[in-house]
Amino acid sequence: MINDFFFFNPVKIYFGENQIQNLPKEAKQFGKKILLVYGGQSIRSTGLYNIITDLLNEFTIVELGGVEPNPDVSIVRKGAEICKMESIELLIAVGGGSVIDASKWIAAAACSDYDAWDFFCKKSTVDDALPLITVPTMAATGSEMNHGGVISNKVELKKIGRSSPLLFPKASFLNPKFTYSVGKYQTVCGSVDIISHIIEVYFNNQQSLEMLDSIMESLIKTVIKNTVIAIDEPSNYEARANLMWAASWAINGFINGPVKQGWNCHTIEHELSARYGITHGHGLAIIIPRWIRYCYTEENKNVYMKFAKNVLEIDIPDNQLPDIICTELEKLFFCTFGLSSNLKDLNIPSEELPQIADAVCGDGIIHGFAELDNKDVLAILKMCY
């Protein structure tokens, strides 16, 4: 049975080298007072900070820099307070997924009397939000073209993603050149994140549409091929453009159609990022191949066969499907992309794996491609060690 579904994505995308010129025109629709949100100093060293502030010289700009990877709810609280005090009318997020995600929740918290964390423990809902424009500087989370965002809570050791249709950016400016300065490590981590978004849809137990399966296969192959090019040639426009546009389409709702993401891997990885601050894409690279090997059953082998044939383009005997797919992905992530291959190298203490597994599962199991309890998650974590 093919599930009914809803698709809606109203984000205006300006893609290309010269599109940032349209930023003032888009911003003007929402007001004169802008909160400019960004991360560290890289947007200054690349010149992007100057480009944007020059373009917006007729607006009043308040700044919120210093948004960190795995952004904490404290920065959301701080941003919301500034918005309220300064009567901010529009947010402009310039940076990677962390900056955009933080900005989305600042936009919501600025219009709410609740504490920002209440959105994540389901004590409050998003009833209104300030408008948001994004200028992504990485190809990874796809946050520039969807309505979700992930926030961490360092006190409670939690990292949670939530969404609301009110959090779609009004417009996003995607210039592949803005990603030229992203180093090899962040580039490959971004690519793993893109691939993971597709894999969490592709590996599922619901019936998809052949059209979407085949588009997902195209996207994964595009990302792999262009990551390899971008590693060698960081300023290859074509490669960066393919990665940037693929990132948006991997998680803007389109590839899902009748299928919901399972989020097995993300749920496990978020626990690791929340506790140890590891880079999201790196955590996923370590988890995905082992999760794929662990979850294989006679019932779901069709997905494995399809993936082997259409993505890896190799013939594998049935009984070796999980092993060889795992090995091929390990080769890709750890040899070709050059990421270290296990949790030990990320300084995660082995004695904490059981409590990580318990925390991942909470009181029960995590749903998705596989239904995993804490014993399953612990087994997967041990494969990752």
Q: Point out which residues bind a second copy (CB under 8 A).
A: 2-19, 207, 209-212, 214-215, 217-219, 221-222, 225-226, 237-238, 241-242, 245-246, 249, 257-258
Closest approach of a second copy to the CB of residue 43, in Å: 21
- Runs of H (alpha helix) within 233-352: 237-250, 264-276, 280-295, 301-307, 321-330
Give least dist CB 214 to a second copy, A.
4
Least gap, CB of 320 to a second copy (angstroms) = 26
What 3-state DSSP class applies to 354? helix
Q: Tell me the C-alpha distance between 103 and 16, whole Å.
A: 23
CA 275, CA 187: separation in Å to the nearest integer? 23
Please, what sign has the CA dihedral across residues 282, 285, 290, 292?
Answer: positive
Q: Which is nearer to a second copy, 220 or 288 (CB)?
A: 220
Q: Which one, 10 or 47, has the nearer CB to a second copy?
A: 10
Question: For a second copy, which is the closer residue by CB, 1 or 85?
Answer: 1
Shorter beta-carbon distance to a second copy: residue 79 or 131 = 131
Could you tell me the smallest distance in angstroms from the CB atom of residue 302 to a second copy?
Answer: 15
| DSSP conformational letter for 366 | B
Q: Which is nearer to a second copy, 13 or 305 (CB)?
A: 13
Q: Which residues contact 234 (CB under 8 A, 6 or more apart)?
A: 180, 181, 182, 183, 184, 187
Least distance from a second copy to the Cβ atom of residue 258, Å: 7
With residue 36 as reference, give the H or E element that holds it.
Answer: strand 33-38
Phi, psi angles (nearest 5°) of residue 162: -140, 165
> Rounded to whole angstroms, how far apart are CA atoms 322 and 325?
5
Listed residue (99, 167, 83, 161) closest to 128, CA to CA: 167
Contact present, 100 and 136 (Cβ < 8 Å): yes
Residue 124 vs 163, nearer CB to a second copy: 163
Angle (CA) 115 101 356, round 5°: 80
Report the residue number, 112 or 252, with the smaller CB distance to a second copy.
252
**CA distance linking residue 215 with residue 147, whole number of Å:** 22
Please report, as a single letter, which amino acid is at residue 295.
Answer: C
Integer CA distances (angstroms), 375 to 25, 343, 354, 372, in order: 54, 18, 8, 8
Query: Smallest distance, Å, CB 79 to a second copy?
Result: 27
Q: Which is nearer to a second copy, 240 or 282 (CB)?
A: 240
What are the Cα distances from residue 222, in Å, to 13, 189, 374?
20, 16, 35
Q: Which CB atom, from 23 or from 76, has the smaller least distance to a second copy?
A: 23
